[in-house]
């Protein structure tokens, strides 16, 4: 019954909000519902958009990630209305014309997730605890395992964390190029210098990726 796999790079058993750059969605009615609500959020749910814009402008907690949270909460409420209180997702505020959720209200989103009574886990004993009819699977990263899809390098790390976990990561959640681990910088330089690999936008704004005379995108 798994409809969605959420690869996360930060693990706490009671935190269901996340920052992730990939979803694995089942091609099903539930999966299509997720995409529908995600698209609705991108276009603006309420009269004046979605969330409150502050003086510093929008950030990820205002825009892209809450769109994923919103789609999960709306689809879940549609398919499992008997499992959650009615309307277990942010609503439009008649006064502000925006969603009734603000930048510092991640806890409100998380409380909605908690009302779904979700169990997190994707491996071993943790996965065994997940109910068979739960539609969402969150990746779990016990201390004894390496990272999965992404390795969190954005919010600060402990000494030795990168050396231990980076070799097993598919990608790094890192925003500043000058802070990439030396191994990543060296690997990129090797691919560029020896195989002519590149990734850039052309004059028309299209992303181009390739190596030598081979074009992959």
Q: What is the pLDDT of residues 89-135, one digit of tens each?
A: 988 888 878 777 654 456 788 899 999 999 988 888 888 999 999 99
Tell me, what's the pLDDT at 57? Answer: 59
H helix or E strand, kind and range, residue 121: none
pLDDT category, 149, cuts 50, 70, 90?
low
Residue 51 in tokens: 């969330």
Radius of gyration of the chain (CA): 20
User: Is the per-residue pLDDT at 212 higher than 50?
Assistant: yes
**C-alpha 174, offset from chain centre:** 14
pTM to 2 decimal places:
0.72
- Positive or negative torsion for Cα 142, 143, 144, 145: positive
Task: Quote the pLDDT of residue 173.
Answer: 72
Q: How far apart are CA 192 and CA 196, in angstroms?
A: 5
What residues contact residue 44 under an 8 Å CB cut-off, 6+ apart? 50
Query: Does the pLDDT value for residue 207 go beyond 80?
Result: yes
If you average pLDDT over every residue of the chain, what do you get? 80
């Amino acid at each position: 019954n798994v409809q969605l796999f959420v690869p996360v790079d930060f693990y706490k058993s009671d935190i269901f909000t996340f920052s992730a750059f990939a979803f694995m969605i089942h091609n099903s009615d539930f999966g299509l519902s997720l995409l529908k609500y995600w698209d609705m959020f991108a276009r603006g749910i309420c009269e004046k958009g979605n969330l409150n814009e502050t003086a510093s402008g929008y950030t990820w907690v205002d825009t892209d990630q809450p769109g994923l949270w919103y789609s999960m909460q709306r689809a879940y409420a549609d398919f499992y209305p008997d499992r959650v209180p009615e309307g277990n997702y942010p609503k439009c505020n008649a006064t502000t014309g925006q969603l009734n959720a603000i930048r510092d209200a991640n806890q409100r989103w998380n409380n909605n997730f908690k009302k779904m009574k979700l169990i997190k886990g994707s491996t071993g004993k943790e996965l065994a605890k997940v109910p068979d009819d739960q539609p969402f699977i969150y990746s779990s990263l016990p201390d004894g395992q390496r990272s999965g899809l992404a390795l969190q390098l954005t919010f600060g790390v402990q000494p030795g964390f990168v050396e231990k976990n980076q070799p097993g990561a598919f990608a790094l959640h890192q925003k500043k190029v000058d802070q990439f681990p030396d191994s990543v910088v060296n690997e990129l330089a090797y691919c560029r210098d020896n195989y002519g690999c590149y990734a850039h936008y052309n004059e028309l704004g299209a992303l181009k990726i390739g190596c030598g005379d081979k074009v992959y995108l």
